[in-house]
Amino acid sequence: MPQTKKSTLVLVAERAGVSIASVSRVMNGLPASPQVVERVRQAADELGYVPDATARSLKAGKTDQIALAVADVGNPVYVGMMHEISRVVTKAGYRLVISSTGSDPQDQIDLLTGLNRGFADGLILSPLRVTDELGAQLRASRLPIVIIGSLPAGVELDNVRADSVRGIALAVDHLIEQGRQRIAFINGPVDTVPGAARLNGYLRALTEQGRPQNADAQVNASDFTYRAGLKAAAALLDQTTPDAIVCANDLLAVAAMKVISKRGLRIPDDIAIVGMDDTDIADLAQPAITSVDLRSIKRARVAAKLLLRRLENPQAPVEQVVIEPKLVVRASSVKECAEAEL
């Protein structure tokens, strides 16, 4: 186990008594005479030689790296997505570079200019907020980019998103089936991509069911976190008395449940709860939370595959995939279910 400093093609070549070209060939499995192969192998072993990734990248014009940028780390949804993307791209021989942009759009722009420095071969981006400038940057970028979530106007890129309008409809319809009358909504910030989509979905679902849109029944948390959810839920319950609440994600749902319990109300008897994303905590919560599964893992997998496809074939036509959500019913929204809970 030689604690050598570093070794290069040249060193190996000298030791093996061959040219650097031969060493390169052997290392890449290209045809060479058995003797040369043997001598190079041995020399490389003795020197602990491993080809340098940077030099190879410069030569090949590719880095074997894929960048992933999500706005909201900390949200369990993105964790699962990251994991899945990592799995897929790793299997394809890529490394995953995490670019944790904050919610600040400027971060994403910095990222895109950075990308053009060529530290990665492609990007998967899930923007929380979309500005015109981001759109412009996206359009101008030279590298393959896949967007998770809705696209900025006028941008033609590979894209995968959940049909969250339909997702909310699933939740609302389910609650109405359960006989709920006053269905409130705890959303995140409406100036975000998911926040806007979910508000839209909520309003449309009510309309389709012939229900009135009651402004008192809606509150927006300042972000998609548990802490913000506590405040929002308290505000909601101060101004109205719903018998069901749709929450824009599971964290907000857990927060709502906490506040409801604290006020001595029972779930689902007094208030039914439906969350979104179907993260682990929906299952862990007590009672378990009915949640709209927006198929985050699948979206992640599709995004990764779209990017890999474009990396293979830059000329491929733009593909835009919409993933259908499904409702996972648990105890928080069904009276019978709460007692019979597994």
Choose the contact partner of 257 out of its own copies, DNA, none; CB within 5 to 8 A by kind: its own copies
> Cβ atoms within 10 A of the Cβ of 41, count?
14
By CB under 8 A, residue 148 contacts its own copies: no
Q: Give burial (CB, 10 Å; 0-12/13-18/19+) of 325.
A: buried
By CB under 7 A, residue 93 contacts DNA: no
Choose the contact partner of 224 out of DNA, its own copies, none; CB within 5 to 8 A by kind: none
Q: How far apart are CA 171 and CA 169, in angstroms?
A: 5
User: What are the phi and psi torsion angles at 218 (to 5°)?
Assistant: -125, 135
| Total site size for its own copies, rule CB under 8 A | 57
Within residues 51-70, the interface with DNA by CB under 7 A covers 51-52, 55-56, 58-61
By CB under 7 A, residue 27 contacts DNA: yes
Nearest distance in Å: CB 213, its own copies? 30
The strand ranges marked E within 233-314 are: 244-247, 272-276, 290-293
By CB under 8 A, residue 284 contacts its own copies: yes
Give how far Cα 334 sits from Cα of 244, 260, 330, Å: 11, 16, 7
Pick the stretch among 34-42, 73-81, 241-249, 289-297 that binds its own copies (CB under 8 A): 73-81
- Per CB under 8 A, the list member of 63, 220, 249, 333 interacting with its own copies is 63
Q: Give burial (CB, 10 Å; 0-12/13-18/19+) of 340.
A: exposed
Q: Toward its own copies, which CB reaches closer, 181 or 261?
A: 261
By CB under 8 A, residue 46 contacts its own copies: no
By CB under 7 A, residue 3 contacts DNA: no
Pairing of strands 183-187, 158-162: unpaired
By CB under 7 A, residue 115 contacts DNA: no
Nearest distance in Å: CB 223, its own copies? 14
By CB under 7 A, residue 8 contacts DNA: yes
H/E segment holding residue 312:
helix 296-312
Q: How far apart are CA 226 and CA 285, in angstroms?
A: 13
What one-character-per-residue DSSP string does 52-91 give?
-HHHHHHHHT--SEEEEEES-TTSHHHHHHHHHHHHHHHH
Token pair 């070549």 in the structure block, residue:
13
Structure tokens at 294: 């927006």
Nearest distance in Å: CB 272, its own copies? 16
Q: Toward DNA, which CB reaches closer, 21 or 98?
A: 21
Nearest distance in Å: CB 165, its own copies? 28
Give how far Cα 268 sits from Cα of 75, 185, 334, Å: 25, 16, 6
By CB under 8 A, residue 314 contacts its own copies: no
Token pair 């996206």 in the structure block, residue:
138
The binding site for its own copies (CB under 8 A) comprises: 1-6, 48, 50-55, 57-58, 63, 65, 73-74, 76, 79-80, 82-83, 86-87, 90, 95-100, 113, 116-119, 136, 139-140, 142, 226, 251, 254-255, 257-258, 261-262, 280-281, 283-286, 341
The binding site for DNA (CB under 7 A) comprises: 6, 8-10, 18-22, 24-25, 27-28, 31-33, 35-36, 49, 51-52, 55-56, 58-61
